[in-house]
Chains A and B, each alone.
Chain A
Amino acid sequence: MGLFKKNTRPELPDFWKTYEASFQEKPKYIWDRQQFVVLDTETTGFDFEEDRILCIGALLVQGQTILVKESFEVYLLQERYNSETAEIHGILKRGKLQKIPELKALKRLLIYLGNRIIVAHHTQFDITMINRALRRHNLPQLKNKTLDTAILYQRSLIKSKLLERKAHYSLDELADKFNISKKDRHTAIGDAYITAIAFLKIVSKLKKKKDFALKPLLE
């Protein structure tokens, strides 16, 4: 998709250059010192072309700690609106929440992300949504390494012939398994919090396994 655009690539804005520059340093991937951004997006739907991001929520995790001060929450101004999904996330088109234009939100997000590792539940979806938004503003794709709690959870399960592993584990299932309150479910930051706690619990299980290392898990 980006192939024939290369020649006409416009000058990239400064915030992108800063973001890009943060990746020059070679990462060490030491678990306890690594910073993770646990992220979730609420969207108008599941169509990567048509649908838009309404909200991005993210938390900063380091070691076994979530730094509340460093949490990230933006609501986006969008033309598209879908009353069906609005029932799920409760974000109204003309609601009271303070909303900002998409580009401004992306700029803030990139400054926040830097070279941190992104963690999400079904990461592919959120990343693709963000990448499509970036493309609409003639920006390249995200450069961050990612982890997916849906995949990590599967790896953390015991290897037993008696246990049938499911192909998909929803965030609700994880919340039930790990006894995490679903109070703020379907708000971006609430889902990010559930994902973050699940992430910490999964990693503590994975750490007990032989040859635990962060690097091979990254995508």
Chain B
Amino acid sequence: MKNTISERVADFLKNFPPFNELKRNELQTLSEQIHIVYRERGSTIFAEGEAPHDHFYLIHKGAVSLTKKPKNEIVDICDEGDIFGLRPLMANEKYKLDAKAHEESILYAVPIDIFKPYAQENKEVGNFLIESFASNTRNPYSESHRGKLYGEKENVESPDPSTRLLDLQPVKYSKNLVSCSPGMTAKMLAETMTKRKVGSILVVQGDLPVGMVTDKDLRNKIVTGAYPIDTPASKIMTAPVITYPKKLTITQAQMAMMKSNISHLCLTKDGTPNTKAVGILSKHDVMVALGNNPAVLIKAIKRSTKYKQIKPIRNNIMDLLRGYLEQNIPITLTSKIISELNDACIKQCIKISLGKMEKAPPAKFAWLAIGSQGRSEQLLHTDQDNALVFEDVPESKLPETTAYFLELSRRVNKGLFTIGYDYCPAEMMASNPKWCLSLTEWKNKISHWIINPGADEVLLSSIFFDYNLSYGTKELVEEISAHIFETVGKYPVFYLHLASGALQNPSPTGFFRQFLVEQDGAHKDFFDIKRRALMPLTDAARVLILSHSIKGINNTAERFEKLAELEPNNAEFYLSCSYATKALLKFRTIQGLLHNDSGRFIALDKLTKEEKIKLKRTFKTIKELQEVISVRFKVSNILR
């Protein structure tokens, strides 16, 4: 009988080793026996000490983390096309690592009893497995295990975390080779380099590399006036070229650059200058691979031309964040840097989307981050919240203009999803026609919220009024801000409603000062740090700062600092609010990194006594703040 699904499975398998070495009929038999398994983020696929399953796994979609107890140290993160959980099956022993869905994943479970004979008969398959067992965990110690595929014990030594994932990883070089002929003039090659956004250009004769011109060469030889601008490349290039084979590890590349005191390596087919050049490796590429420098990451983001290229950079950003938190770098600085990087990712996504549109935008527009992203308080991967405003156009043009920006937003939302921002479950996204409006439409909507402040309107205001420009025309945003203050000026009763909204959040502690945990649902017995602790602070800061007619400061901690400046009498109190906000934010971020989620729900039994005391200290500030709001805006008990 025809089985389209197994054909599709085979289509996928044949692209990835070792399955690409299988014969057609073998692949077909194997594909029919595969199970397609879905796993939600965070769920366990197998656990350390568990007896081996009948299947090993190939990732079709998503990512899986392999971690080692007791510290849950990440040994490897497997990606689409990677296999895992095979070695214990081959060796017939228990799993030595935990495998968890790092992202929502679809796995192909491959039955070992059908696969094993193929692996033993087919030399290519066997060799691949030996190699991958030796290197797939990217474990520097596993070198000594080469050649012992069957019955080999898994390496239990864990690598030193500081070198983990780094040294022996093969470097990613740019395959998109920018080259020129020896006769090209300095002016022309500089133009090419600018256009392609590279710092070096390879001079080739035939296919063979003969020299290289870098930014430095141009500076030293042309800009100084030593050579005229129409000098051919052959006169100013650095020659001969230092060449290396393409299978270079990061450490090797660093050594090579240090040894020859150069910033660019040319990679050729066999490593000699007598074969075709296949790529250039720059110091920048090495830095990106090491991923520990914000400036390098920003540059890498700006060079991306596809959404998919941004995704690994976002992982580097998370590593950077982890490092900052471990080194106890102040959270204000940390969140500034990380927000800046996240912002750059969003901007690049929009740029890529704009490039994909058939026409240029028919009107000026601004892409707004709203909610926690607008406040730059979102350090972890979370949902996207955004909106779009475009300048007013004649009524006859409105439908097509709206259609254009909706289409653009749809692409951007999808792009953001690809790089790791989940869709907003409440559809607070620019692709939703409710949140993609002209300036006048926005003004009308905002006026409606302010004039009729019901519970929904106040909630919407609290999400939307923290908007921040991600991309586009600043004037549009300033007009919205002016409109808000003007309207609130006419309807000051709005503050009262916003203030009472700020007092709606449930209390963090009960009568006996115990933590109040969730009563039911998926997070039963967890503490909701967002709703019970962070939101009261955020909401209060918003109403206070708006009542001072200040727009442009969205970050809650910064708002409190500004308030301290505006009200010197209460400076000390506001600074303690700012401190509490930062402490809670850091707390949430650490929790989120620990569990690969948003960090919102906290298991209290996992906290140390010290952490609990720290948390409780912030609650006192929250309580005082709510009293200040209640008194200042005269929120009556009826409204509450």
Q: How many residues of A contact B (CB 8 A)?
A: 35
Q: Does A128 reach chain B (CB closer than 8 Å)?
A: no
Are B38 and A187 in touch, CB under 8 angstroms?
A: no
Please report the C-alpha to C-alpha distance between residue A67 and residue B423 in the assembled complex, in whole angstroms: 29
Chain B nearest CB: distance from A175 CB in Å?
12
Q: Does B594 reach chain A (CB closer than 8 Å)?
A: no
CB-defined contacts of B434 to chain A, threshold 8 Å: 164
Q: Does B427 reach chain A (CB closer than 8 Å)?
A: yes
The residue from B4, B31, B34 contacting A73, defined by CB atoms under 8 A apart: B4
Q: Does A158 reach chain B (CB closer than 8 Å)?
A: yes
The residue from A65, A97, A163, A208 contacting B35, defined by CB atoms under 8 A apart: A65
Please report the C-alpha to C-alpha distance between residue A161 and residue B8 in the assembled complex, in whole angstroms: 41
Please report the C-alpha to C-alpha distance between residue A163 and residue B407 in the assembled complex, in whole angstroms: 20
Q: Does A33 reach chain B (CB closer than 8 Å)?
A: no
Please report the C-alpha to C-alpha distance between residue A65 and residue B106 in the assembled complex, in whole angstroms: 10
7 A-B pairs in the complex with CB atoms less than 8 angstroms apart: A65-B109, A67-B35, A68-B35, A68-B36, A73-B4, A98-B2, A189-B5
10 additional A-B residue pairs with CB within 8 Å, beyond A64-B39, A158-B426: A65-B35, A68-B5, A69-B32, A73-B3, A73-B4, A162-B426, A162-B459, A189-B5, A204-B40, A210-B521
Are A184 and B38 in touch, CB under 8 angstroms?
A: no
Q: Does B73 reach chain A (CB closer than 8 Å)?
A: no
Are A68 and B34 in touch, CB under 8 angstroms?
A: yes
Q: Does A174 reach chain B (CB closer than 8 Å)?
A: no
Chain B nearest CB: distance from A164 CB in Å?
8
Q: Does A59 reach chain B (CB closer than 8 Å)?
A: yes
User: What is the size category of the interface that chain B forms with chain A?
Assistant: 35 or more
Q: Does B417 reach chain A (CB closer than 8 Å)?
A: yes
| Residues from 91 to 117 in A contacting B, C-beta threshold 8 Å | 97-98
Q: Does A160 reach chain B (CB closer than 8 Å)?
A: yes
CB-defined contacts of A157 to chain B, threshold 8 Å: 425
Residues of A near any B CB (own CB < 8 A): 57, 59, 64-69, 71, 73, 97-98, 157-158, 160-164, 176-177, 179, 183-184, 187, 189-190, 193, 197, 200-201, 204, 208-210
Please name the 7 residue pairs, one residue from A and one from B, whose CB atoms are nearest each other, closest first: A208-B522, A66-B36, A200-B38, A204-B40, A189-B4, A158-B425, A64-B38
Are A197 and B5 in touch, CB under 8 angstroms?
A: no
CB-defined contacts of B414 to chain A, threshold 8 Å: 176
Residues of B near any A CB (own CB < 8 A): 1-6, 8-9, 31-40, 61, 104, 106, 109, 414, 417, 423, 425-428, 434, 455-456, 459-460, 520-522
Are A184 and B8 in touch, CB under 8 angstroms?
A: yes
Residue with the greatest number of chain B CB neighbours at <10 A, chosen from A59, A69, A200: A69
Please report the C-alpha to C-alpha distance between residue A98 and residue B61 in the assembled complex, in whole angstroms: 32
Are A197 and B8 in touch, CB under 8 angstroms?
A: no
Please report the C-alpha to C-alpha distance between residue A164 and residue B5 in the assembled complex, in whole angstroms: 35
Are A163 and B5 in touch, CB under 8 angstroms?
A: no
Residue with the greatest number of chain A CB neighbours at <10 A, chosen from B36, B428, B520: B36
CB-defined contacts of A160 to chain B, threshold 8 Å: 425-426
CB-defined contacts of B39 to chain A, threshold 8 Å: 64
Please report the C-alpha to C-alpha distance between residue A158 and residue B521 in the assembled complex, in whole angstroms: 13
